[in-house]
Amino acid sequence: MNLLVSNPVTIEQSVKEADVVIGAVLIPGAKAPKLVKEETIKQMQPGSVLVDIAIDQGGIFETTDRITTHDDPVYTKHDVLHYAVANMPGAVPRTSTIALTNVTTPFVSALASKGLIKAFREDVTLSKGLNTIDGKLTYRAVAEAMNFPYTSMEEALQS
Amino acid sequence: MIRAWGNEDWRTQRSEKSRKPCGDDATGVVLLTRQNHEIFVEKSAGVGSGFTDEQYIEAGAIIVDSAEEAWSKDLIVKVKEPVKDEYQYFRKGQLLFTYLHLAAEEELTKALLENEVTSIAYETVQLPDGSLPLLTPMSEVAGRMSTQMGVQYLEKTKGGKGILLAGVPGVQRGKVTIIGGGVAGTNAAKIALGLGASVTILDLSHSACGNWTTYLVHL
């Protein structure tokens, strides 16, 4: 296996010769950077496959122009197949549900047993997840994205 | 919006608030009912994921017939963000725990604020090291699945170039390039390597490559 530092040159070289390219760049809350140029994709062999996991954030392939669904997941551009399904875990709902439940259940248990205030006090990880309370928006990135007033969690919980 | 995997909608009620999703054979419900929480599951909520109402009942949950009744509980646990039809059930003091992605959902944000709902978004729950524990499993699923999709669409009948990623003795292996060495990329690589493909991973940082080496030793 090759581990390469990502830059425009290494991306171009390794994409051109690949049979499958997987876009796995996820920047939470931000648009994915278009790391793979159309010129590069044109040079791939016909019948190669691009899979973009970051598609719901715009995707990293310059040739990606739409999001697809599980019913019709693939389209072809420059003879290269583009798999661009936004909600990939939805194709394997049983695995996905169990995987998600495994990680959410302890938090649900804490909220149900202790109530919000005590659960937050004892677990900063959970409290980071607070988005709205009493009509106040307590998550900064969301407030900034929408130009809504932001209230810190501490302040919102005090009142 | 594309529908999520089977929409598990449970609402829990105790003297406080609670509600939750479920595991294999509704393990989540079992764990919560053992703590004396009352778990309400919306009728047919788990069918899409292969969980029947009977399984939930066996696990100790109570099935409720309508969304309205389910939303009347103290703690609402979902998968996907509420859709417009559900905004009517929002009310003050309700605790909602689900994926929300509010930055892209202005109308939903307004509805939560106006109705004074307390909401915790899965995707913003964050560990001290900056990682996102409630996003990780979905990145793992998508990462592992992405290699499978590559395998599938390389087949001639699917429009691909007609290559077996693993090759066979005497024939070159297929080449997989993975851009991004985070959770999703790591999981994509794990499956590609397991298949015997020739794998290249590109990541911005040298340290990610270092982590990789450590990771692969433990594959």
ipTM of the complex: 0.91
Give the number of beta-carbon pairs within 8 Å between A and B.
350
For the segment B39-58, what is each residue's pLDDT rounded down to a tens digit? Answer: 999 999 998 888 999 999 99
pTM comes to 0.86
The per-residue pLDDT for B212 is 57
Q: Is residue A2 part of a domain?
A: no
In a domain, A71, yes or no: yes
Contact B62, B42 (CB under 8 A): no
pLDDT at residue A7 tops 80: yes
The segment(s) of chain B belonging to CATH 3.40.50.720 are 10-124, 136-217
**Distance (Å, rounded) from C-alpha A152 to C-alpha B84?**
27
CATH number for the B10-124 domain, one of 1.10.260.40, 3.40.50.720, 3.40.190.10, 3.30.1330.10? Answer: 3.40.50.720
B38 touching chain A per CB within 8 A:
no
* Shared domain check, A110 and A72: no
Q: Residue A150: which domain range?
A: 92-158
Domain boundary among A90, A113, A148: A90
Whether B14 shows a pLDDT value over 50: the answer reads no
Per-residue model confidence as pLDDT tens digits over A87-103: 899 999 999 999 999 99
Regarding whether A127 and A57 lie in a shared domain, the answer is no
Q: Among A64, A90, A116, where does a domain finish?
A: A90
- Answer for the pair B145, B188: CB distance below 8 angstroms, yes or no: no
- pLDDT number for residue A65: 85
Q: Which of B144, B126, B147 is nearest to B135 (CA)?
A: B126
Residues A13 and A77 in one domain: yes
Confidence of residue B208 (pLDDT cuts 50, 70, 90): low
Mean pLDDT estimate for chain B: 86
Per-residue pLDDT band at B156 (split at 50, 70, 90): very high
Indicate whether A21 belongs to any domain.
Answer: yes
Same domain, yes or no, for A33 and A50? yes
Q: Is residue A1 domain-resident?
A: no
Any idea of the CA torsion for B120, B122, B124, B127, to the nearest 10 degrees? 110
Confidence of residue A47 (pLDDT cuts 50, 70, 90): very high
Give the count of domains, chain A.
2
Q: What is the pLDDT of residues B22-40, one digit of tens each?
A: 445 688 898 899 999 999 9
Instruction: Tally DSSP H helices, then E strands, for chain B.
Output: 7, 9
CATH class given for the domain over B136-217? alpha beta
The number of residues in chain B equals 219
Q: Is the pLDDT of residue A9 over 70?
A: yes
Short-list B17, B122, B93, CA closest to A128: B122
CA distance linking residue A5 with residue A10, whole number of Å: 7
Residues of A in contact with B209 (CB under 8 A): 3-5
Read off the tokens for B125.
């729950």
The token pair that represents A116 in the structure block: 């919000």
Q: Which residue has the higher pLDDT, B107 or B204?
A: B107
pLDDT at B21 over 80: no
Q: How many CA atoms are closer than 13 Å to the CA of A85, on its beta-carbon side?
A: 22
**Tokens 């909608």, residue located:** B9
Residue B16 has pLDDT above 60, yes or no: no
**CATH number where A64 lies:** 3.40.50.720
For residue B34, the chain A residues in CB contact (below 8 A) are none
Q: In terms of DSSP H, where are the helices of chain B? A: 27-33, 53-58, 67-71, 106-114, 136-153, 183-195, 206-217
Q: What is the pLDDT of residue B66?
A: 93
Same domain for A96 and A59 = no
How far, in Å, CA of A82 to CA of A73, rounded? 8
pLDDT of residue B68: 93
Q: Which residues from chain B sit within 8 angstroms of residue A111, using beta carbons?
A: 16-18, 75, 95, 97, 120
Quick one: average pLDDT of B138-156? 97
Picking from A74-83, B48-57, B84-93, B210-219, which range would have the lowest pLDDT averaged per residue?
B210-219
In this structure, what DSSP letter does residue A71 have?
T
Owner of token pair 């760049």: A25
Separation in Å, CA of B207 to nearest CA in chain A: 10
Mean local confidence (pLDDT), A45-56? 93
Chain A nearest-CA distance from B194, in A, is: 12
Q: Taking CB atoms and an 8 Å cutoff, what residues of chain B touch A131?
A: 100, 102, 112, 119-121, 124
Q: Are B74 and A114 in contact (CB under 8 A)?
A: no
Same domain, A73 and A12: yes
Span A56-68, pLDDT tens digits: 778 899 999 899 9
Closest CA to A25 of B129, B186, B152: B186
Per mean pLDDT, which range of B8-17, B74-83, B173-182 is the poorest? B8-17
Q: Is residue A41 part of a domain?
A: yes
Q: Determine which helix (DSSP H) or strand (DSSP E) holds A76, and give its type and residue range.
A: strand A74-77
Residue A146 confidence (pLDDT): 87
* Among A47, A43, A34, A46, CA closest to A8: A34
Q: Which of A48, A70, A90 is the last residue of a domain?
A: A90
- Is A3 inside a domain boundary? no
Determine the 3-state secondary structure of B151 from DSSP.
helix
- Dist CA B23 CA A116 (whole Å): 23
Q: For the ranges A82-86, A114-118, B7-11, B58-62, which has the lowest average pLDDT?
A: B7-11
Nearest CA among B152, B143, B145, B165 for reference residue B215: B143
Q: Does B193 touch chain A (CB under 8 A)?
A: yes
Q: Does B82 touch chain A (CB under 8 A)?
A: no
